[in-house]
Amino acid sequence: MEMLTNILAATVVAGTPLLLVALGELICERSGILNLGQEGMMLMGAVAGFIAALSSGSLLVGLIAAIATGVAMSLFFGFMAITLAANQYAAGLALTIFGTGLSAFVGSGFVGNSIEGFTRVAIPVLSDIPVIGRVLFDQDPLVYVSFIACAGVAFFISRTRGGLILRAVGEDPDAANANGLKVQAVRYMAVAFGGGMAGLAGAYLSLAYTPMWTENMTAGRGWIALALVVFATWRPGRLLLGAYLFGAASILHLVLQGLGWNSPTELLAMLPYVVTILMLVLLSWDPARTRLNTPLSLGQPYRPSH
């Protein structure tokens, strides 16, 4: 029981960065913009957050720096994909390649430093519930932030006027434009939100998950998040489920080793990526259903005629 509780708690922690970045990408994709730059923005968030926290001594400053960096990176992308109506695939890839290079460059002097990262804060009363208390309510503060963000995004998309506008823009930008909605502005905001969340997710890695900076420390999480959004059929509730599923896959090799299972770590480290492909297979085999769920204008460059 003790063991199971610990595994579940570790699953939530491993799933949190995925949840954060995927929530941002979900909003972004709902506006019709596909940003393949998540990995690059996460890396920049991770390195900026780490450097800011290390030099200021404050984790909060680190978080703010990470979010601001993510937003700034995403605005570069927005300029290309929205204002210049460039190919979104290429622009997103450029963002990832640029972010990978820049983060390695900026962070090269900080490899090997370590800081006191976020620690667990138990929520009174709730954390006393058996199992669930430890798993959900005795975690670091950013885990709680991810819960709130998930609920907030779900509420925003389905229950608010802003969410309706977002979806309208994503489904049919022409019609939205004809109705007087500012398509480009909405998309910029969605992209910026995605950037901020990616920065926050990066900071989770460098300030909470493993409080240090190493090159390429995201290890493909930004890409997995893109698959997660497809997995969740663009719905926040399923995203939560999916993020923890992938979180479980990514700590499985630690669990198996703990159980005395002696298979090579490199083979077990493939698991999250294999699971991602299997998920894509399960969800994509019916193209009609995929089409039904995908925001209609996703990935299409759009410039209003006036």
Partner 1 sequence: MLQLERRPVDSALMRWASPVLALVLTVITGFVLFLAMGRDPVEGLRFFFITPISDVIGLAELGLKMAPLLLCAAGLTVCYRARLWNIGAEGHFLMGALGASVVAVQFLEADGFWVLPLVLLAGVLAGVLWAAIAAGLKTHLHCNEILTTIMLNYIALNFLLYAVHGPLKDPYGFGFPQSVMFGDSSLLPALIPGTRLHIGLAFGLLAAVAVWVMFARSFVGFQLNVIGQDHRAADFAGFSARRLTWLAFLVGGATAGLAGASEVTGPIGQLVPQVSPGYGYTAIIVVFLGRMHALGIIAASALLALTFLGGEMLQIAMNMPKAVTGLFQGLLLFYLLTCDALIHYRIRFRHRARESKVMTPSTAAGEA
Find the shortest distance in angstroms from Cβ 134 to partner 1.
31
The total number of residues shown for the chain amounts to 306
Does residue 260 belong to the site contacting partner 1 (CB under 8 A)? no
Interface pick for partner 1 out of 48, 91, 190, 249 (rule CB under 8 A): 91
Instruction: Build a one-symbol-per-residue string for 153-182: x at contacts with partner 1 by CB under 8 A, - elsewhere.
Output: ---------------------------x--
Q: Which stretch binds partner 1 (CB under 8 A): 55-63, 157-165, 169-177, 262-270?
A: 262-270
**3-class DSSP string for the chain:** CHHHHHHHHHHHHHHHHHHHHHHHHHHHHHCCCCCCCHHHHHHHHHHHHHHHHHHHCCHHHHHHHHHHHHHHHHHHHHHHHHHCCCCHHHHHHHHHHHHHHHHHHHHCCCCCCECCCCCCEECCCHHHCCCHHHHHHEECHHHHHHHHHHHHHHHHHHHCHHHHHHHHHHHCHHHHHHCCCCHHHHHHHHHHHHHHHHHHHHHHHHHHHCCECCCCCCCCHHHHHHHHHHHCCCCHHHHHHHHHHHHHHHHHHHHHHHCCCCCCHHHHCCHHHHHHHHHHHHHHCCHHHHHHHCCCCCCCCCCCCC
Selected binder of partner 1 within 178, 267, 293, 300 (CB under 8 A) = 267
**Residue 79 vs 144, nearer CB to partner 1:** 79
- Segment interacting with partner 1, rule: CB under 8 A, options 94-102, 119-127, 158-166, 188-196: 94-102
User: Does residue 219 bind partner 1 (CB under 8 A)?
Assistant: yes
Contacting range for partner 1; rule: CB under 8 A; set: 1-9, 51-59, 89-97, 159-167: 89-97
Q: Contacting partner 1 (CB under 8 A), which of 274, 293, 296, 300?
A: 274
Q: Which position among 4, 60, 126, 277 is part of the footprint of partner 1 (CB under 8 A)?
A: 277
Q: Which of 7, 10, 72, 104 binds partner 1 (CB under 8 A)?
A: 104
Contacting residues toward partner 1, per CB under 8 A: 36, 40, 76, 79-80, 83-87, 89-91, 93-95, 97-102, 104-105, 108-109, 180, 215, 219-220, 223-224, 226-227, 230, 264, 266-267, 269-270, 273-274, 276-277, 280-281, 284-287, 290, 303
